Structure 1
């Protein structure tokens, strides 16, 4: 059995997954958080698949604890310890490759890429476009190579799926020479999720991916929507950075740039102040003091004015993007919701689709309210547009792309 180890290295976290690529089964996964702090929460989940089962029926065993983890090298040592103590054995399932999530590939990387010294250098150079992500991704790559030095390492970029955007979609209307010099353009993010979900939707419906016009709403703490025509990304809401577009947990999404100039002049906000405002004190957090949609929904149910307004602003933005992207596609065949909010918040799905009857969207309230796991239809049988809930699996997508490259 061939196993691929998938690594998602954050600035203070290490997320990992060991995947049997032949059967597309996750054997184990784990998360090490608060790296560099006094103590780090550690969780490791072992998936036990029933013999002969093709469907994802699993018996999970999760092990949790806390211990000091000084840096990413130490985090990899902890990960190896988790495999050794709780399983599965890496001697019995040795990784044939390591796939790494890298957030920003700029315009240079448009496909899974074998990592060598030059690729490492370029990932580092692109840190100017993703200072919170690429340095951490690179730290994970270097730490993984120190442990798994005898297998190929592959970078899978969040931005790669969006390299098919046409110039009209990725070009900002600013001074062209300045934009070229400083690489200012739309890049898009959540690409592995958008690709996985669009392909899974086509497979679920038994339709040819190449004939479908799709919208995919990836709604988590970070949120984005992508218009996908025949399997190709043609428009997406995130831009130069993951800040643009939809309302998110702590990020503002779209805002008049002049508002920032106004805050600088009138409130004395520095560049760093504005950066912190837009990324950590905005979105649902800024509107209602809570960044988790579950808390917003509970507050709305209780009649809280701030929570109700936050929900309404969130949904208003979703409707606006849905309408705009349907226009860009010239119609839509499939709309999919994924990630934490998209998969679990029935009210968000219902309200964001409520005004799209003109486009052929009709939601079935009972199907939408169902807590059934897995991919499922939430539109009526009569709806001209199929609306789905599709659980995303970015780790599996990274494993697939790593295997395909090898």
Structure 2
């Protein structure tokens, strides 16, 4: 096949990639370069049921990782099958609501939007620039995490701040995990045998980062993540919603610097901070089952905040087709799903315990009782969305 899409998801010290068929989602090759910018930089490639890991040479950066990938693709006669490259870009601001062909103006915009995503957009741009050097004539398309949420109304995305902060500085809720929410809602619509434009769904993407999204008639109308990925429900290491006055108290009364507070809220809070053990839900669940009080408390807060967010988002609907769990925790933790559903009985969510226990490790289906509002576990596939939307965007040009 000569129209495979190379999907690139670039982090500050990592580069995740996959070569795939955009029509059916078949993965031809996938891999990860990690510990970039250090002497421990390594790239792992899975291809034809084989897995290889190779240490990368100095300067250990994204460009070196992509050069290694290109050499591998060339050696295995796969480079000519790359029709285009789809890049995950975290923040598109208000400017980008659709898959976008990358040119110099788009790269400038991505750089300018780095002020809204300083940890992500610069890395995404590095991946784009490295891919452009390696694939000189190949179209590059940006798929923005925030794009799906650009259908939110002002009442959902504006904060109760002086309006000029939005007008002059773009301070508003943007939301993230857009490709994930879009994919699983599309899958749910297929299960319902309805066009997505007729579906009202709440989607809960639960992993180390978490977000809940209300999807009305196929469009995002509210989401829990905000200007940054710190707002919303409690997460692996992020606090989620807190009284903003806590920040002033930490700085003015307890003597913390703003840098320290930023680090606490983003990297030391959430499941890690409350459990005092780990940000890994599996570790915390095991500790809770052995009687660890802090682990139990962490899981209770985590599930309650998510249930509360789901319940609050029902104000967007007069009818609800169902709830989706996705992401690493959402797809695999029957315990967390059970805890959340037990707090949503008023919305007619009642767990089918056997179905919930069965629905793990890539399985997909309804875990609610037959007379309940449906609740699906749907494994997400953001790479396929990026590949599919990249292919569709380029075919619009023809």
TM > 0.5: yes
**Cα deviation, residue 179, structure 1:** 2.8
**Aligned equivalent of 2:183:** 196
Alignment of 1:323-362 (within 5 A): 323-362=311-350
**Aligned equivalent of 2:142:** 155
Contact in 2 for aligned 1:44/1:82 (Cα 8 Å): no
Alignment of 1:138-217 (within 5 A): 138-217=125-204
In structure 2, C-alpha distance between the alignment counterparts of 1:146 and 1:67, rounded to whole Å: 18
Alignment of 1:29-48 (within 5 A): 29-46=30-47, 48=48
- Which digits, 9 at most, give the CA deviation of each residue in 1:269-314, with x for residues without a partner? 2221111111111111111131000011011101101101100110
Please, which of 274, 291, 314 is the counterpart of residue 302 of structure 2?
314
Alignment of 1:251-330 (within 5 A): 251-289=238-276, 290-330=278-318
Alignment of 1:19-38 (within 5 A): 19-38=20-39
TM-score by length of 1: 0.93
In structure 1, C-alpha distance between the alignment counterparts of 2:73 and 2:289, rounded to whole Å: 43
Contact in 1 for aligned 2:331/2:362 (Cα 8 Å): no
Please, which of 69, 84, 89 is the counterpart of residue 79 of structure 1?
69
CA shift in 2, pair 1:372/1:76, >3 Å: closer
In structure 2, C-alpha distance between the alignment counterparts of 1:283 and 1:188, rounded to whole Å: 19
TM-score by length of 2: 0.95
**Cα deviation, residue 208, structure 1:** 2.1
**Aligned equivalent of 1:220:** 207
Q: Does 1:380 align with 2:369?
A: yes
- Which digits, 9 at most, give the CA deviation of each residue in 1:334-371, with x for residues without a partner? 11111100000001101101122221212100000013
Q: How many residues align?
A: 390
Q: Does 1:15 align with 2:16?
A: yes
**Aligned equivalent of 1:106:** 93
- Which digits, 9 at most, give the CA deviation of each residue in 1:115-174, with x for residues without a partner? 000000000000000000000000000000000110110000000000000000001010
In structure 1, C-alpha distance between the alignment counterparts of 2:42 and 2:190, rounded to whole Å: 37
In structure 1, C-alpha distance between the alignment counterparts of 2:361 and 2:271, rounded to whole Å: 27
Unaligned runs of at least 5 residues, structure 2: none
Contact in 2 for aligned 1:188/1:237 (Cα 8 Å): yes
SS of equivalent residue, structure 1 residue 15? strand
**Cα deviation, residue 84, structure 1:** 4.9
Q: Does 1:64 align with 2:56?
A: no
CA shift in 2, pair 1:303/1:128, >3 Å: same
Contact in 2 for aligned 1:37/1:68 (Cα 8 Å): no
In structure 2, C-alpha distance between the alignment counterparts of 1:271 and 1:83, rounded to whole Å: 46
Query: Which is further off, 196-205 or 126-135?
Result: 196-205
Please, which of 213, 220, 239 is the counterpart of residue 226 of structure 2?
239
CA shift in 2, pair 1:372/1:129, >3 Å: closer
In structure 1, C-alpha distance between the alignment counterparts of 2:96 and 2:69, rounded to whole Å: 29
In structure 2, C-alpha distance between the alignment counterparts of 1:241 and 1:29, rounded to whole Å: 29
SS of equivalent residue, structure 2 residue 174? coil
Query: Which is further off, 32-41 or 388-397?
Result: 32-41
Unaligned runs of at least 5 residues, structure 1: 49-59
SS of equivalent residue, structure 1 residue 27? strand
Contact in 2 for aligned 1:39/1:68 (Cα 8 Å): no
**Cα deviation, residue 22, structure 1:** 3.5
In structure 2, C-alpha distance between the alignment counterparts of 1:12 and 1:251, rounded to whole Å: 20
**Cα deviation, residue 372, structure 1:** 6.0
**Cα deviation, residue 405, structure 1:** 0.6
In structure 2, C-alpha distance between the alignment counterparts of 1:116 and 1:357, rounded to whole Å: 50
- Which digits, 9 at most, give the CA deviation of each residue in 1:367-389, with x for residues without a partner? 00013633211112221x11111
Contact in 2 for aligned 1:378/1:389 (Cα 8 Å): yes
**Aligned equivalent of 1:116:** 103
In structure 2, C-alpha distance between the alignment counterparts of 1:160 and 1:391, rounded to whole Å: 21
